[in-house]
């Protein structure tokens, strides 16, 4: 349930707000505007989300195998569920099929998706096929909600901002592929296969540890801004502390553009009171997930990104130093 | 959860079978291959379905208002739920947005969809926006399942085959629009707004009346064939008894092509033991829905379509008289 950051962000922000205003009622615990909706079904709550992968927008076929496309499509959609602490259970796939696509190709995509879902404990229970110009996969995930609730709107001043994993690899990879430059295999795999963070997400939520959580799909700063906006707070982000891979540093040095605003990282970003940080660290260690504190929540409404004592300013398509 | 009949039916049949073979497990009561999946969520069962409307494939923008497009997108998806006797509750919308589409247009589509869902007692709880070449709406509906179950696989020889409403109007309308010929307003409205049959569908299922039921999206004969195939039976269909509107008869006389194989009727087709027919008639009358018996279930595996004592034979893109 994210917009794609590459395309006229203002429009999508407007539309996200539009969608967040639609009326909801009985049974809707968390409505539009979050990673996933939370609905009441009998005694239990369920999470619902949809996300899509469209050829030419999110991927080119040369960038990954058909099976990997199926797997990636599931992981991208399931990332929203991980950020709400859910357990993916049922999957629907709506597939737009270009005329020229061989049957065997569709079968390979389908099998990749089915296998990936199964590995997460989820079943593909139905789907729909239709013609389209672009190969397009729209994946709906239905998940068991955790008993506790976490969303984007409860960050409080004084709390820490923490993230899992590294940032910028996926966006840098796409940038290289689009400009037809060689992309190291490690970066490519990182883009092809978003991280699996559902177990950690669930343990964090069930443990009542984060105050707010989101999966970073649109870009680290933008998604942090979204959390701040909904929570009515600001944040200070220490740019140098944003975790980046060796491959990233080797390719772009200290350039933080892709790490801060590239998007498609599908890592978890959350706010947490300092006293609960050690408990979070223990869970992350047990899951083998890297955890980094990158800033803190402050009063106000701005996300201030600092590097070497200076404030970085967001440009339309990325970050740039503010000439001091 | 239907393929679209206009496009290489053989392929989609193959793929539907592929999808029907994917493994399913815990919590899956009815898996792939039906109008909607049925899953167990706590003490309750829920129905899940997805369907889509894609510009250039299912519609042209000149054919309906943006609000009507939103409404139609919901009705098409909710039709699968009606055929399983469910009560639509929650809706997710994945929307592919062309660059040139004005914001206000997307807002009108969204509002049409939200209003239509509300009229059915359902809430739009989330969505996703992405760029695409074609305007595309993929609608997921989550519905409360009825206590009883009905699906496509329990038709038995000797039972009657019955349908709601009229057939062929929508397909004839699309044929006229595509060939740039005038389309009577009545036919156009019929295509724009598929019938609402959720209340009748639910009462039929809760009353334990039909043995098998399906919504007719791919064409009357094809969907009947599907019911027969899954049930391991055949059927005799009396072509002359297939209900058609006055507008349809005025335009194409006794030509049954669109009525038998056009598709997009979104009427209910079901099999029912003769002794339960009167109860079905009473429910339909109460709902103001026309009901017609068009044939009967027989042993075997073929659907035989008879007209004036002759058998009609299905051609690739429609029906034709078998020269006797």
CATH number of the domain at B236, please: 3.90.650.10
B115-118 LR contacts (CB < 8 Å, sep 24+): B115/B67, B115/B70, B115/B71, B116/B70, B116/B71, B116/B74, B116/B75, B117/B74, B117/B88, B117/B91, B118/A23
Residues A192 and A218 in one domain: yes
Whole-number pLDDT of residue B15: 59
Question: Residues B106, B140: contact at Cβ < 8 Å?
Answer: no
Q: CA angle, B25 as apex, A42 and B93 as ends, to 5°?
A: 55
Residues B116 and B212 in one domain: no
DSSP string, A96-107: EE-TT--HHHHH
Nearest alpha carbon to residue B81 among B50, B54, B44: B50
Residues A306 and A178 in one domain: yes
Residues B170 and B35 in one domain: no
A116 part of a folded domain: yes
CB contact under 8 A, B136 and A133: no
Mean residue pLDDT of chain A comes to 89
| SS3 call for A142 | strand
Boundary of a domain, candidates B114, B144, B174? B144
| SS3 call for B141 | strand
Whole-number pLDDT of residue B238: 96
Residue in B with minimal Cα distance to A8: B99
Q: How many domains does chain B have?
A: 2
Whole-number pLDDT of residue A112: 96
Whole-number pLDDT of residue B21: 67
Which of B19, B51, B134 lies at the smallest CB-CB distance from A132? B134
A1 part of a folded domain: no
CATH number of the domain at A84, please: 3.30.1330.10
Question: Residues A114, B22: contact at Cβ < 8 Å?
Answer: yes
pTM of structure: 0.91
| pLDDT higher than threshold 90 for residue A28 | no
Distance from the Cα of B275 to chain A's closest Cα (Å) equals 34
A150 part of a folded domain: no
Residues A212 and A293 in one domain: yes
CA pair distance A237, A161, nearest whole angstrom: 8
CB contact under 8 A, A32 and B131: no
In the beta sheet, which residues pair with residue A151? A212
Which of A19, A46, A128 lies at the smallest CB-CB distance from B52? A128
Burial A81-92, CB ≥16 within 10 A → b, else e: bbbbbbbbbbbb
CB contact under 8 A, A11 and B127: no
CA pair distance B217, B6, nearest whole angstrom: 11
A253 part of a folded domain: yes
Averages of pLDDT over each 10 residues, chain B, 324 residues:
43 60 78 83 89 94 96 97 96 92 89 95 91 93 94 92 98 95 94 97 97 94 93 96 97 94 96 98 98 98 91 57 30
CA pair distance A285, A279, nearest whole angstrom: 10
Residues A269 and A187 in one domain: yes
B322 part of a folded domain: no
CA pair distance A36, A47, nearest whole angstrom: 6
Cα atoms in the 13 Å half-sphere on the side-chain side of B15: 32
Nearest alpha carbon to residue A236 among A209, A210, A271, A187: A271
B39 part of a folded domain: yes
The pLDDT of A107-136, averaged and rounded, is: 92
Residues B106 and B188 in one domain: no
CA pair distance B186, B190, nearest whole angstrom: 6
- Residue whose tokens read 């994917």: B22
| SS3 call for A178 | helix
What residues of B are in contact with residue A89 (Cβ under 8 Å)? 27, 39
Distance from the Cα of A73 to chain B's closest Cα (Å) equals 14
Boundary of a domain, candidates A109, A144, A179? A144
pLDDT tens readout for residues B207-259: 999 999 999 998 999 999 999 999 999 999 999 999 999 999 999 999 999 99
Which of B103, B128, B142 lies at the smallest CB-CB distance from A51? B128
Residues B28 and B136 in one domain: yes
A67 part of a folded domain: yes
What residues of A are in contact with residue B33 (Cβ under 8 Å)? 126
A152 part of a folded domain: no
What residues of A are in contact with residue B134 (Cβ under 8 Å)? 132-134
CB contact under 8 A, B130 and A52: yes
Q: How confident is the model at residue A16 (pLDDT cuts 50, 70, 90)?
A: low
CA pair distance A216, A166, nearest whole angstrom: 11
Which of B3, B14, B48 lies at the smallest CB-CB distance from A90? B48
Question: Residues A46, A39: contact at Cβ < 8 Å?
Answer: yes
**Domain hosting residue B244, numbered range:** 160-317
- Residue whose tokens read 């296969």: A193
Strand order in the sheet with B212-215: B212-215, B268-272, B160-164, B291-298, B234-238, B303-307, B310-315, B318-321
Residues B171 and B77 in one domain: no
Nearest alpha carbon to residue B128 among A310, A34, A316, A193: A34
Strand order in the sheet with B136-144: B28-30, B37-41, B44-54, B136-144, B87-97, B123-131
Nearest alpha carbon to residue B220 among B321, B86, B312: B312
Boundary of a domain, candidates B144, B178, B205? B144
Pairing of β B234-238 and β B291-298: antiparallel
Burial B80-99, CB ≥16 within 10 A → b, else e: bbbbbbbbbbbbbbbbbbee
What residues of A are in contact with residue B128 (Cβ under 8 Å)? 1-3, 50-52, 138
Nearest alpha carbon to residue B217 among B280, B262, B153, B165: B262
Which of A37, A70, A128 is the mutation pick for testing B, counting most B CBs within 10 A? A128
Whole-number pLDDT of residue A139: 97
Tokens of A9: 């962000």
| pLDDT higher than threshold 80 for residue A267 | yes
What residues of A are in contact with residue B42 (Cβ under 8 Å)? 41-44
ipTM of this predicted structure: 0.88
Residues A271 and A165 in one domain: yes
Burial B206-233, CB ≥16 within 10 A → b, else e: ebebbbbbbbbbbbbbbbbbbbbebbeb
Residues B287 and B165 in one domain: yes
What residues of A are in contact with residue B11 (Cβ under 8 Å)? 103
- Residue whose tokens read 């690739």: B316
Pairing of β A44-54 and β A37-41: antiparallel
Burial class (CB in 10 A: 0-12, 13-18, 19+), B17: exposed
Residues A167 and A276 in one domain: yes
> What would you report as the CA-atom Rg of chain A, rounded to the nearest whole angstrom?
19
| pLDDT higher than threshold 70 for residue A2 | no
pLDDT tens readout for residues B63-83: 999 999 999 999 999 999 999
């Amino acid at each position: 349930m994210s917009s794609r950051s590459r395309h006229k962000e203002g429009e999508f922000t407007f539309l996200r707000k539009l969608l967040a205003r639609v009326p909801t009622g009985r049974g809707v615990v968390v409505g539009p505007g979050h990673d996933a909706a939370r609905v009441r079904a009998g005694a239990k709550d369920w999470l619902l989300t949809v996300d899509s992968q469209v050829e030419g927008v999110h991927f080119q076929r040369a960038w990954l195998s058909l099976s990997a496309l199926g797997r990636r499509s599931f992981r991208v959609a399931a990332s929203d569920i991980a950020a709400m602490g859910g357990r993916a259970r049922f999957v629907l796939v709506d597939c737009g099929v270009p005329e020229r696509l061989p049957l065997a190709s569709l079968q390979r995509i389908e099998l990749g998706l089915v296998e990936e879902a199964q590995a997460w404990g989820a079943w593909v229970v139905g789907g729909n096929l239709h013609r389209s110009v672009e190969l397009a996969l729209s994946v709906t995930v239905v998940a068991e909600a955790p008993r506790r609730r976490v969303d984007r709107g409860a960050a409080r001043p004084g709390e820490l901002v923490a993230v899992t994993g590294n940032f910028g690899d996926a966006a840098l990879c796409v940038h290289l592929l689009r400009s037809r430059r060689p992309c190291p295999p490690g970066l490519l795999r990182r883009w092809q296969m978003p991280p699996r963070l559902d177990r950690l997400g669930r343990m964090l939520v069930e443990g009542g540890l984060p105050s707010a959580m989101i999966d970073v799909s649109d870009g680290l700063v933008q998604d942090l801004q979204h959390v701040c906006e909904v929570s009515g707070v600001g944040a200070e982000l220490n740019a140098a502390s944003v975790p980046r891979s060796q491959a990233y540093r080797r390719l772009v040095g200290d350039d933080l553009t892709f790490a801060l605003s590239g998007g498609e990282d599908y890592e978890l970003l959350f706010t947490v009171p300092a006293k609960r940080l050690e408990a979070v660290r223990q869970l992350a260690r047990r899951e083998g997930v890297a955890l980094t504190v990158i800033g803190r929540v402050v009063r106000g409404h701005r996300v201030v990104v600092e590097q070497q004592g200076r404030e970085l300013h967001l440009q339309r398509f990325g970050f740039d130093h503010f000439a001091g």
